[in-house]
Structure formats: C-alpha cells, structure tokens
C-alpha cells in the first residue's frame, strides 16, 4: 500500500446507494469532479457492515488518507431522515451508529438519492444529456428529475433569491398511477387485482416493465415468456411484438408522468430522465409516444411545449450531486 503521510487531508467520500448497485467516489482537495472509488453489486453483500469494511479497505488500497474521509455524503434510495435507513428495493439496512463506527473522524450527511440527482442538474453539460424532442432549458428556472430504475425517483431543484440551488426531495414515485389509453386501463385492472393500490412505480421501473409485459400477455392471450426487464428490452429492440408493446407503453406512461411533473413544478428549466433504463433503450424511447404524451395535457399542452426533456447520460449524477451537497465548488 502507498505511503499516505504526504497526501493532503480533507478528502471527502460520496456514495450513491441504490437497489441494484452502490457506487462510491472520493473528492480530492481542489478537485472539480468526484473520482470513482468502487462499485459494489447489492447482491454481493449480505449486510451494509460488510460494504463499509470493503469500502474502507479499497480506500486505503488506493493510498488515500489512513484516517479516512473528512466529510461523507451518502445518497440513498430510501427516506434519509429515519434513524435506520431501510431500502425499498434492497435488503440492506444501516443506522448512523454503524457509519460512525467505520467513519470515526468524518462528518456524515445522508440525503435521498434523487435529491442528489436533482442537485447535479445545474452542473450537467450538453455532453451529459441527450434531448428528446424540442424545447429548452431556461436558466434559473425549476428543474425536475424522474428516474425509472430499480424503483422510481423524483426530485426538483429550484433557486433562492441569491440564485443558489435548493433541492426539494420526496417520494414522487409513489403517487397514484393514472392511465390514459383504453389498453392502459386494462393493464391497470390487472395490476389492481395483483397489488391493490397502483403507483407509477408499479410501471415505471425495471419490475414495472415486467408487470406491463405480463399484463399485456394476459390481455392479448399470448405467452409472456420473458422474465427480466433486460430480456424484454432486448426483445423489443429485435421487434418482438409483445415486448415492443410493453416498452412502448412504458415510455408512454413515463412521458405522461414527466409531463405531470412539469405542470406541477413549473419546470421551465427542463425535465430530466435519470436511471439506467432510458439511456439503455433510448432508441425505443425516441420511437415511442414519450414526447407526445408529455405534451398531451389538454388546455395546458402549450405550457409544456417549450419545456425541454432530456435523458441523463452522465455516468453517475448522484455522486456529482452528493459532492455538490457537501459544498464542493465543482
């Protein structure tokens, strides 16, 4: 291991902990962007204590300060204000005492993962996004992120009177789902029979793709043989009819939900699609009714016309947002 005695202190640690992967990075003194440290699949670790032990071993293996980070910010796919952090789509749990045991000299901040994504929005460049349709992003106006991934995240960034960004988090992925087309109503009937209440997350996530696909198979009287969202997305790209219909509905519902958020938040700064699904299947998204459904708001269709919609292609905006939250001038 490298001698760390000459390495400056005030290295910071940031983490983006989701339902599938946990990504970590460090922020060196004077750096402009976080530097990748580690990526751990959730399935590889039975508990978060093991994650922290491995993380600090990797930290020291890179020759970073033996004393650990000066500041830490973890963005989590869970309500961050509770004493015990329990993940909606993961078996991991931890509390502040566990973190303090591993990060003895570090100040610790925990924020929602989509609050971190929203905090990153003003720092994204043209190379970090791909625009879908027309529309603009007005400087200083509210911006909103929605992200279908393991679950569905939603958060907004607004600005105070000094033009400082302020993040409004929440659990917007759990609002009620409102179908538009007759087929979406038929899908909803099947999801209600299965789940009772149906939120947008029942459709707008990886498991949601499977839910839509299976419901359409039942409606069409066709065998729904594919069992993973990756298999369904790939089959759709190869023109499998049932998979293609499922992905088309997924992106149509995403467009409706994104349009609702634009109306609710006045997001003249743009609506940004985060998470891993949209970038992976951006060809299907571009061919879908996403933008048409974003605009289909009746008397307020013109309101949404000038609002830009963007897919985030930045490798991990959550880490960038967590670093910004710590006050780094990135």
DSSP readout, 52-90? Answer: HHHHHHHHHHTT--TT--SEEEEEESS-TTSSEEE-TTS
Place of tokens 């938040």: 265
pLDDT score for 15: 97
List the domain boundaries for the chain. Answer: 12-112+317-325, 125-313
CA-closest candidate to residue 321, choices 77, 155, 123: 123
pLDDT score for 9: 61
Question: Thinking of the domain 12-112+317-325, which architecture would CATH place it in?
Answer: 2-Layer Sandwich (3.30)
Q: Which two tokens stand for residue 38?
A: 């580690």
Query: Which residues, other chains included, contact 300 with Cβ-Cβ below 8 Å and sequence gap of 6+?
Result: 263
Q: Kindly list the distances between the CA atom of residue 236 and the CA atoms of 207, 220, 250, 281, in Å, as whole numbers in the listed order.
A: 16, 16, 12, 9
CA-closest candidate to residue 107, choices 325, 317, 319: 325
Domain 125-313, CATH 3.40.367.20 — does that match? yes
Q: Which two tokens stand for residue 268?
A: 């003249």
Nearest-Å Rg of the Cα atoms of the chain is 21
- pTM for the model stands at 0.87
- pLDDT tens track, the chain, 330 positions: 444 444 456 899 999 998 889 999 999 887 768 999 999 999 999 999 999 999 999 999 999 999 899 999 999 988 888 889 988 678 899 999 999 999 988 999 999 888 899 999 999 999 999 999 999 999 999 999 999 988 898 999 999 999 999 999 888 999 999 999 999 999 999 999 999 999 999 999 999 999 999 999 999 999 999 999 999 999 999 999 999 999 999 999 999 999 999 999 999 999 999 999 999 999 999 999 999 999 999 999 999 999 999 999 999 999 999 999 987 444
């Amino acid at each position: 291991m490298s001698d760390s005695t000459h390495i400056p202190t005030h290295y910071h640690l940031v983490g983006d902990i989701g339902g599938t992967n946990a990504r970590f990075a460090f922020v060196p003194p004077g750096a402009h962007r976080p530097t990748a440290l580690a990526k751990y699949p959730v399935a590889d670790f039975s508990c978060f204590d093991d994650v922290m032990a491995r993380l600090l071993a990797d930290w020291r293996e890179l020759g970073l300060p033996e004393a650990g980070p000066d500041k830490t910010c973890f963005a989590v796919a869970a309500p961050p204000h509770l004493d015990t952090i329990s993940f909606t789509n993961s078996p991991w749990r931890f509390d502040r005492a566990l973190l303090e045991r591993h990060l003895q000299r570090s100040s610790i901040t925990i924020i929602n993962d989509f609050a971190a994504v929203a905090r990153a929005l003003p720092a994204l460049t043209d190379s970090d996004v791909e625009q879908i349709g027309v529309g603009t992003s007005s400087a200083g106006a509210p911006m909103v992120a929605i992200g279908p991934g393991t679950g569905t995240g939603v958060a907004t960034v607004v600005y105070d009177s000094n033009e400082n960004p302020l993040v409004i988090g929440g659990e917007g992925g759990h609002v009620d789902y409102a179908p538009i087309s007759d087929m979406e109503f038929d899908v909803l009937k099947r999801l209600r029979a299965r789940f009772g209440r149906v939120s947008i997350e029942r459709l707008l996530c990886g498991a949601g793709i499977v839910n839509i696909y299976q419901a359409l198979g039942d409606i069409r009287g066709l065998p729904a043989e594919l069992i993973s969202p990756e298999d369904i997305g790939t089959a759709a790209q190869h023109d499998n009819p049932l998979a293609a219909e499922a992905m088309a509905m997924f992106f149509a519902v995403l467009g409706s939900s994104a349009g609702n958020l634009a109306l609710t938040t006045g997001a003249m700064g743009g609506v940004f699609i985060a998470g891993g699904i949209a970038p992976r299947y951006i060809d299907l998204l571009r061919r879908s009714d996403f933008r048409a459904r974003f605009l289909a708001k009746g008397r307020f269709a013109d309101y949404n016309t000038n609002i830009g919609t963007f897919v985030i292609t930045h490798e991990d905006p959550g880490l960038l947002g967590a670093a910004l939250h710590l006050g780094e001038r990135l």
